[in-house]
């Protein structure tokens, strides 16, 4: 009877996590309060649908630990160097709350950071205990990316949103003011975004989907499982096609870089060399088909013309961030960079006059240093370095894919802010951190995470 109840509980825990995982790209939310002139995610309090699933998941898994050997579990965590560095990072983030111009907003953002931290630990524990298998998670991410890809393709086709507002899809059309779009000669195209708030964030999620497809493709080594490669190939095609329609240059670059890294590793690895060779052929064929049919869309967007505002403004945002760090080495408070810059007229000083262009620093590393200080930023860097070094095993497929999922968010963080500021982006980053934390290849076998 006890075994039966435990099995049911584990199934509930696993299902809760899978439902939460599927909710990552859905932006369903309820506005609570705004600290700025407009109710944006950057300066407002929202309750997200994914929040509810995440909290339920955390309650169930923490309740499980109450009935297990909690003392031993926390002792192992406390003795883990990676975890200790992460705690130092959280302490700096908490201290920054008291330095923020809007302390309520900073406290709200800190609570969100703590939830993400707990989620990463919980994901790591699920993997360590074997309650959730990574190939199930990869299948969920891959399937979700196909759904987002299909939505993106139809958004491109119809030049507008599809009416999926209940899943968080922005209600916009190609001529909606301030919407992300692309002009080629006399044609105007809507940059597809799925149910995510921006095309670049959709591109990040699609790259996670591609990596999941690659993993599933290489994992199916049994000769009787070759039929599974057909739907995997079809899924890859749709995701690559949708990635084009995001017109996200950062998305294209990250997708190519991570694909080359993965294929290069697979071709080097004797165990997966044959499988990777066939996967490489599929990727090349998909790439050629898309280039032949959509080169007239890809080539103009792939250029970086002089005076490109999206590039020049990113450089200015980074300059603003460096100025904030110079004046506030201990940070201006988590979640408060935008408000601080507005209150101190930094955007106007750097030549950005329109309010719609007052955006966060488009580099999460400079952004973190400006909000929680240089010491907090260094703790975050050391944490990432120790995390990857302690979990990296070059010969193992899962270890490689975990690290590539994390690298994806970190690469996007070089040119955008969403892995630190927006719900879906933060969930992607900390989910990847949790997967790497939960890697079974540890230097110390007694560690929990």
Tell me, yes or no, whether 7 and 89 share the same domain.
Answer: yes
Considering the domain architecture, whether residues 290 and 146 belong to the same structural domain is answered as yes
| 226 in a structural domain | yes
Alpha-carbon gap, residue 438 to 426, rounded angstroms: 18
Q: Are 302 and 252 in contact (CB under 8 A)?
A: yes
Domain membership of residue 445 (yes or no) is no
Q: 392 in a domain, yes or no?
A: yes
- Quote the pLDDT of residue 254: 97
* Domain match, 255 and 149 both: yes
Quote the CA–CA distance of 58 and 112 in Å, as a whole number. Answer: 13
- Are 157 and 294 found together in one domain? yes
Q: Tell me which residue of 192, 220, 188, 190 sits closest to 206, measured CA to CA.
A: 192
Residues 292 and 163 both lie in one domain = yes
The Cβ of residue 253 has, within 10 Å, a number of other Cβ atoms equal to 15
- 122: Cβ–Cβ under 8 A, 6 or more apart, which residues? 17, 57, 58, 61, 62, 434
Q: Domain for residue 156, yes or no? A: yes
pLDDT at 438: 82
Where do we find the tokens 């079974």? 440
pLDDT, one tens digit per residue, over 56-70 is: 988 888 776 544 555
Same-domain check for residues 149 and 294 = yes
Q: How many Å apart are CA 212 and CA 218, to the nearest integer?
A: 10
Answer whether residue 71 shows pLDDT above 60.
no
Measured distance CA(402)–CA(141) in Å, rounded = 13
Domain co-membership, 219 together with 349: no
Q: Are residues 106 and 148 in the same domain?
A: no
> What is the total count of domains within the chain?
2
Kindly state whether residue 347 falls inside one of the protein's structural domains.
yes
pLDDT at residue 316 greater than cutoff 80? yes
Asked if 293 and 162 sit in the same domain, the reply is yes
In a shared domain, residues 153 and 178 = yes
Contact 118, 55 (CB under 8 A): no
pTM equals: 0.92
- Strand ranges in 127-196 using DSSP code E only, listed in sequence order: 181-184, 187-190
| Residue 31 parent element (H or E) | strand 29-34
411 falls within a domain? yes
Last residue of a domain, one of 302, 328, 351: 302
Asked if 123 and 159 sit in the same domain, the reply is: no
Q: Which domain holds residue 276?
A: 137-302
Residue 301's pLDDT band (boundaries 50, 70, 90)?
A: confident
At which of 281, 302, 323 does a domain end?
302
The mean predicted confidence, pLDDT, of the chain is: 87
Asked whether residue 309 is domain-assigned, the answer is no
Answer yes or no: are the C-beta atoms of 205 and 424 closer than 8 Å: yes
Would you say residue 5 has pLDDT above 50? no
Indicate if 193 and 296 belong to the same structural domain: yes
What confidence category does residue 304 fall into, taking pLDDT thresholds of 50, 70 and 90?
confident
CB distance 211 to 40 below 8 Å: no
Domain boundary among 244, 271, 302: 302
Asked if residue 443 belongs to a domain, the reply is no
Query: What is the per-residue pLDDT across 198-246, written as a single tens digit (0 to 9) for each?
Result: 999 999 999 999 999 999 999 876 654 667 788 999 999 999 999 999 9
């Amino acid at each position: 009877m006890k075994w039966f109840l435990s099995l049911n509980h584990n199934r509930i825990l696993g299902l809760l996590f899978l439902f939460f995982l599927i909710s990552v790209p859905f932006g369903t939310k309820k506005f609570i309060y705004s600290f700025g002139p407009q109710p944006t995610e950057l300066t407002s309090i929202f309750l997200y649908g994914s929040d509810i699933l995440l909290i339920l998941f955390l309650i169930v898994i923490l309740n499980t630990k109450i009935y297990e050997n909690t003392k031993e579990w926390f002792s192992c965590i406390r003795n883990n160097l990676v975890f200790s560095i992460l705690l130092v990072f959280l302490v700096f983030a908490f201290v920054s709350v008291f330095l923020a111009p809007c302390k309520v907003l900073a406290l709200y953002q800190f609570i969100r950071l703590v939830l993400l931290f707990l989620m990463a630990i919980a994901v790591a524990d699920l993997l360590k205990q074997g309650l959730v298998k990574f190939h199930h998670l990869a299948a969920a991410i891959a399937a979700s990316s196909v759904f987002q890809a299909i939505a993106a393709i139809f958004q491109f086709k119809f030049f507008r949103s599809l009416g999926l507002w209940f899943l968080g899809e922005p209600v916009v059309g190609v001529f909606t003011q301030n919407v992300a779009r692309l002009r080629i000669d006399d044609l105007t195209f809507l940059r597809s975004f799925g149910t995510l708030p921006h095309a670049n964030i959709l591109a990040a999620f699609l790259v996670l989907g591609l990596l999941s497809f690659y993993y599933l493709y290489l994992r199916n080594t049994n000769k009787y499982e070759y039929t599974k490669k057909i739907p995997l190939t079809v899924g890859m095609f749709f995701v690559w096609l949708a990635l084009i329609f995001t017109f996200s240059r950062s998305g294209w670059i990250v997708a190519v870089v991570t694909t080359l890294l993965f294929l290069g590793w697979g071709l080097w690895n004797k165990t997966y060399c044959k499988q990777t060779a066939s996967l490489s052929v599929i990727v090349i064929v998909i790439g050629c088909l898309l280039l032949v049919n959509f080169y007239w869309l890809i080539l103009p967007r792939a250029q970086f013309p002089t005076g490109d505002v999206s590039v020049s403004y990113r450089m200015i945002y980074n300059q603003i961030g460096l100025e904030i760090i110079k004046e506030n080495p201990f940070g201006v408070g988590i979640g408060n960079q935008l408000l601080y810059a507005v209150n101190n007229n930094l955007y106007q000083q750097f030549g950005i006059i329109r309010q719609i262009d007052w955006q966060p620093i488009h580099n999460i590393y400079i952004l973190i240093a400006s909000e929680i200080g240089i010491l907090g930023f260094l703790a975050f860097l050391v944490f990432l370095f120790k995390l990857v070094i302690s979990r990296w095993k070059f010969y193992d497929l899962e270890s490689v894919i975990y690290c590539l999922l994390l690298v994806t968010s970190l690469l996007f963080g070089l040119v955008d802010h969403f892995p630190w500021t927006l719900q879906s982006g933060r969930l992607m980053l900390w989910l990847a951190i949790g997967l790497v934390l939960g890697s079974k290849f540890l230097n110390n076998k007694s560690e929990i995470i």
